[in-house]
């Protein structure tokens, strides 16, 4: 068995001790090399309560080789965060030579907030392990988003707890998420522009034509002699149907271009949407919507309006609900909730299986809320309905209401 001693802290050396220090440095380097090649069985770390022995059993050599070849960072740390072992991948990730990583404190790679989170996690870490997202501070000053998966390892000979940490670099994942977010935002913008264009076409062309036809039908009905009772009745029925079609086209155009937001404000626009939904679908809808103390920026109002439209569209298409509750409240933020008592679904499962297929509704609702600095939450249980909650920050200067 080969045993080595490692000092976790050192004092500034007077010049006469320089030679001794050099020898110890060479020893330390040799130790680290030996640890990484699996030649060392035991590391002794000088701690507050005297030297502590950590064994690295020879049988673990094969595992260490495996860990060295991993694409993820791997660490073993003590309860006081001293790094007993780090693989090359971790050293590359934090842009620091491996020999400077091993033996140093893991705290140096964490922000104050992440240190506190890690401290609390290590205290209550159980066998099932825990996971956290942190931003690692690299040697060149850059920050790396990382996912830490932490597990307590069996207490070793010195009865001191050690922890195994697998560190995943999330830079690429975050970049992809940002690209996806930008793309989704673009889709929402294009969708909004396209809706505006279609609404204009409907209003300026289709509705005008339909109205012209309607006027002529009505004129025709009036011109028909009284004896042509049957034909007259038919023309009147057709005129009514045409009138309904005009109303429907206008309703679609209104929904496509929410001019009602500009004209009436958010609360009235939400009310109009809810009333129209309940009248058309027959689903009972309870609305609790108090006036706000200030108007939101146009993008915030549009986000809430579109999210409500989308959510009600989903209720109509998928939920088979009997009751819907819509609630708009002003607190430290604006909160919109939409509850239905329908069949529910599994949002996690839906997100995992969509892989580029499927609808855009939930994705665009989330994107709209995020884009205006808000949050979007969905809770749904099969057989127990769906709850959507959107939180939008208040405009500067607006009063928070309890
Ligand atoms: N309120 C709800 N009740 C039950 N299932 C729902 C509800 N809302 C969404 N879903 C489920 O989630 C899926 C995704 O909804 P999403 O709005 O993203 O897409 P979509 O409605 O299928 O299509 P699009 O909104 O693009 O027209 C739906 O297909 C449906 O299975
Ligand atoms: Mg939908």
Residue 350 near ligand 1, beta carbon < 6 Å: yes
Angle among Cα 126, 74, 23 to the nearest 5 degrees reads: 115
Atom of ligand 1 nearest to the CA of 317: 21
Ligand 1 atom closest to 314 (CA): 8
Asked if residue 268 has its Cβ within 6 Å of ligand 1, the reply is: no
DSSP for residue 203 = I
Which among 307, 315, 317, 384 is the best mutation to test ligand 1's pocket, defined by most ligand atoms within 8 Å of the CB? Answer: 317
Cβ 187 under 6 angstroms from ligand 1: no
- 297 three-class SS: coil
C-beta of 164 in contact with ligand 1 (< 6 A): no
Work out the average pLDDT over 174-200: 87
Task: Return d(Cα 212, Cα 220) in angstroms, integer.
Answer: 12
* Topology at the third CATH level for domain 3-169: Beta-Lactamase (3.30.450)
CATH architecture of residue range(s) 264-402: 2-Layer Sandwich (3.30)
> 386 in ligand 1 pocket by Cβ < 6 Å?
yes
Contact 25, 95 (CB under 8 A): no
Tens digits of per-residue pLDDT, 266-311? 998 999 899 999 999 999 999 998 888 888 888 899 999 999 999 9
Q: Dmax of the chain from CA atoms? A: 128
Cβ atoms 110, 119 nearer than 8 A: no
Structural element, H or E, at residue 144 = strand 143-153
User: Is there an atom of ligand 1 within 6 Å of 87 CB?
Assistant: no
Tell me the CA–centroid distance for residue 134 and ligand 2, in Å.
34
What whole-number distance in Å separates Cα of residue 124 and Cα of residue 116?
13
What is the rounded radius of gyration, in angstroms, for the C-alpha atoms of the chain? 33
**DSSP one-letter code for 59:** G
The residue with greater pLDDT, 52 or 363, is 363
> Which ligand 1 atom sits closest to the C-alpha of 354?
14
| Cα 264 to middle of ligand 2, angstroms | 26
Give 162's strand partners: 78, 153
Strand partners, 148: 132, 167
Query: Residues 206, 247: contact at Cβ < 8 Å?
Result: no
Ligand 1 touching residue 342 (CB < 6 A): yes
Answer whether 340 contacts ligand 1 (Cβ < 6 A): yes
3-state secondary structure of 312: helix
**Average pLDDT over every residue of 230-240:** 87
CB-CB neighbours of 385 under 10 Å: 22
390 close to 374: Cβ distance less than 8 angstroms: yes
Our answer on whether the CB atom of 360 is closer than 6 Å to any ligand 1 atom is yes
- Residue 194's Cβ-side half-sphere holds a number of Cα atoms within 13 Å equal to 6
pLDDT tens-place string over residues 302-346? 999 999 999 999 999 999 999 999 999 998 899 999 999 999 999
CA 300 centroid distance within chain: 19
Provide the whole-model pTM: 0.64
Which atom from ligand 1 is nearest to the alpha carbon of 342?
A: 3
> Is pLDDT above 50 for 4?
no
Burial class (CB in 10 A: 0-12, 13-18, 19+), 171: middle
Does residue 314 have its Cβ closer than 6 Å to ligand 1?
Answer: yes
Ligand 1: atom nearest CA of 378 is 8
Distance 360 CA to ligand 2 centre (A): 6
Q: Does residue 318 have its Cβ closer than 6 Å to ligand 1?
A: yes
Distance 110 CA to ligand 1 centre (A): 40
Continuous segment of H or E residues that includes residue 379: strand 375-380
| Ligand 1 atom at minimum distance from 319 CA | 3
Task: Give the strands of the sheet with 73-78, arranged side by side.
Answer: 83-86, 73-78, 162-169, 143-153, 130-137
Q: What is the DSSP letter of 294?
A: S
Contact criterion met (CB below 8 Å) for 367 and 331: no
Which of left, alpha, beta for 380 (phi over 0: left; psi -120 to 50: alpha)?
beta
DSSP state at residue 290: P
Dihedral angle computed from the Cα positions of residues 273, 275, 281 and 282, in that order, rounded to the nearest 10 degrees = 160
Ligand 1 pocket residue status of 338, Cβ below 6 Å:
no
Write out pLDDT tens, residues 24-51.
777 767 766 666 665 555 666 666 666 6
362 CA to middle of ligand 2, Å? 6
Tokens read off for 169: 């670099």
Dihedrals phi, psi of 39, to nearest 5 degrees: -80, -20
* Adjacent-strand bridge partners of 146: 134, 169
* Residues paired with 5 in a beta bridge: 44
Cα gap 44→5, rounded to integer Å = 5
Q: What is the pLDDT of residue 166?
A: 94
SS3 165: strand
395 alpha carbon to ligand 2 midpoint, in Å?
29
The mean pLDDT of the chain is: 84
Ligand 1 pocket, 267 CB below 6 A? no
CA–CA distances in Å: residue 287 to residues 270, 321, 375: 9, 16, 21
* Residue 109 clears pLDDT 80, i.e. is over it: yes
- Find the 198 Cα to ligand 1 centroid distance in Å: 23
Ligand 1 lined by 132 (C-beta under 6 Å): no
pLDDT at 3: 46
Mean pLDDT along residues 252-278: 86
258 DSSP β-pair partners: none
**DSSP at 99:** H
Atom 26 of ligand 1, nearest CA residue: 359
SS3 (DSSP) at 77: strand
* Per-residue confidence (pLDDT) for residue 322, from 0 to 100: 95
């Amino acid at each position: 068995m080969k045993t080595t001693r490692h000092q976790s802290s050192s004092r500034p050396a007077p010049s006469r001790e320089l030679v001794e220090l050099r020898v110890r440095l060479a020893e330390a380097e040799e130790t680290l090399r030996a640890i990484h090649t699996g030649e060392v069985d035991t590391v002794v770390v000088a701690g507050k309560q005297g030297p502590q022995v950590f064994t690295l059993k020879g049988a673990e050599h094969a595992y260490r080789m495996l860990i060295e070849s991993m694409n993820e960072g791997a660490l073993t740390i003590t309860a006081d965060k001293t790094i007993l072992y780090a693989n090359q991948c971790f050293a590359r990730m934090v842009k620091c030579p491996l020999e400077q990583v091993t033996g140093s404190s893991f705290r140096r790679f964490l922000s104050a907030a992440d240190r506190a989170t890690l401290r609390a996690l290590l205290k209550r870490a159980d066998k099932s392990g825990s996971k956290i997202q942190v931003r690692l501070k690299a040697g060149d000053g850059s920050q790396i988003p990382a996912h830490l998966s932490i597990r307590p390892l069996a207490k070793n000979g010195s009865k001191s707890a050690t922890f195994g940490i697998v560190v995943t670099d999330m830079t690429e994942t975050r970049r992809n998420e940002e690209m996806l977010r930008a793309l989704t935002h673009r889709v929402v913008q294009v969708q909004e522009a396209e809706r505006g264009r279609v609404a204009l076409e409907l209003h300026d062309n289709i509705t005008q034509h339909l109205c012209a036809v309607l006027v002529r039908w009505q004129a025709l009905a009036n011109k028909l002699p009284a004896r042509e009772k049957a034909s007259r009745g038919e023309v009147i029925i057709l005129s009514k149907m045409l009138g309904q079609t005009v109303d429907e086209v206008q309703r679609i155009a209104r929904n496509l271009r929410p001019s009602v937001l500009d004209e009436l404000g958010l609360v009235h626009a939400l009310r109009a949407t809810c009333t129209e939904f309940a009248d058309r679908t027959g689903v009972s809808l309870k609305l609790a919507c108090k006036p706000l103390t200030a108007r939101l920026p146009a993008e915030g109002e549009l986000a809430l309006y579109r999210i409500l439209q989308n959510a009600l569209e989903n209720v109509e298409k998928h939920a088979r609900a009997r009751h819907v509750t819509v609630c708009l409240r002003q607190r430290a933020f604006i909160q919109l909730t939409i509850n239905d008592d329908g069949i529910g679904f599994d949002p996690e499962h839906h997100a995992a299986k969509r892989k580029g297929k499927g609808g855009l509704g939930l994705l665009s609702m989330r994107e709209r809320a995020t884009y205006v600095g808000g949050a979007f939450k969905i809770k749904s249980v099969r057989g127990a309905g769906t709850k959507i909650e959107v939180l939008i920050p208040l405009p500067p200067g607006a009063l928070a209401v309890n």
